[in-house]
Amino acid sequence: MGLPDGLAMAIVYLPDDHHSVRYVPWARLRKDEDDNVIGVLGAAFRLRDEEEYLSATWAEFFVESTHADRVTASIRAIRASNIDVRPKSGFAVGCVSKIKQVCLDDPRRHRVRIIHEAEPDNAAHAALRGWPRDNDDLLNLLAEEIWCDAILNAAIP
C-alpha cells in the first residue's frame, strides 16, 4: 500500500477480541488417511519468500450480528478477492489476542502487529506484520491450538 509523501494515515490495529480469517489451500489442510479434514497445518501460516507479512481478513470489519455471519462474510470477501479460492480449500479462524500472545510467549518473542490494510480487492484485508519466519514449532502450535478453527469452503454457500 503506497501513500503519497506527507500524507499520514492512522494505523488501525485489530482489537484483541476480534478475529482473523485466513485462506487455507487444500494442500495445507490437515487430513487423516482417508482425506477427511481434521484441522490446519502449520505450513498454512508460513510466509512465502517474497512476502513481507501474512495476509488475512478482518472478520469484524463486517457488521453482521453474529460471529458465524461475520466469518461467512469474510469468506465471501476472500472469494471475491484476487485469491483463486479452490473448491476443496478451507479457512482458518483465530482470535487476534491469542495469535499475538502465543507469538510473544515463544522463546523468540515475536511481536506481531495485526493491522487493517485494505486492498483494492479486499476492503477487510489485514496484514500480520512481524510474522515469524523459520519457526515451524510455533506455526504448528498456532495451527493446532490457536488459529485452528477450520471451515471448509464447500460448507459456505
Partner 1 sequence: MTAVMPVIGRRSPPAYTPSSAVGPVSQIINAQIEELRRPSPTFSGKAKPISEAALEVELFDALLKFKVSTSQVAMHLDRGWRSRLFAQLDSLLDKESWEPLDRPPRLESFATFLRMIIFLRPQRRPGLGATSKGELIATWSVGADRLTIECLPQDLVRWTVSVTINDDRERAAGITPVARLKEVLRPYGPARWFSDGDRISA
- Give the CA radius of gyration of the chain: 15
Spatial separation of the C-alpha atoms in residues 114 and 18, rounded to whole Å? 10
Return the residue matching grid coordinates 458465524: 68
Q: Is 39 helix (H, G, I), strand (E, B) or coil?
A: strand
Residue 140 binds partner 1, judged by CB under 8 A: yes
- Cβ proximity to partner 1, 26 vs 62, nearer residue: 26
Q: Does 32 bind partner 1 (CB under 8 A)?
A: yes
Using CB under 8 A as the binding rule, whether residue 22 contacts partner 1 is answered as no
Q: Binding-site residue total for partner 1 (CB under 8 A)?
A: 27
Q: Give backbone dihedrals phi and psi of 140, rounded to 5 degrees, phi first.
A: -70, -40
CB of residue 4 to partner 1, shortest distance in Å = 30
Element (H or E) spanning 76, and its range? helix 67-80
- Residue 134 near partner 1 by CB under 8 A: no
Binding flags for partner 1, 71-110, as an x/- string (CB under 8 A): -------------x-xxxx---------------------
Report the C-alpha gap between 60 and 94 in whole angstroms. Answer: 12
Nearer to partner 1, 14 or 135 (CB): 135
Distance in angstroms (rounded) separating the CA atoms of residues 126 and 89: 20
Please state, as a whole number, how many other Cβ atoms lie within 10 Å of the Cβ of residue 59.
Answer: 28
Beta carbon nearer to partner 1, 69 or 136: 136
Q: Is 42 in the site for partner 1 (CB under 8 A)?
A: yes
Chain residues in the site for partner 1 (CB under 8 A): 25-33, 35, 38-39, 41-43, 46, 48, 84, 86-89, 136-137, 140-141, 144
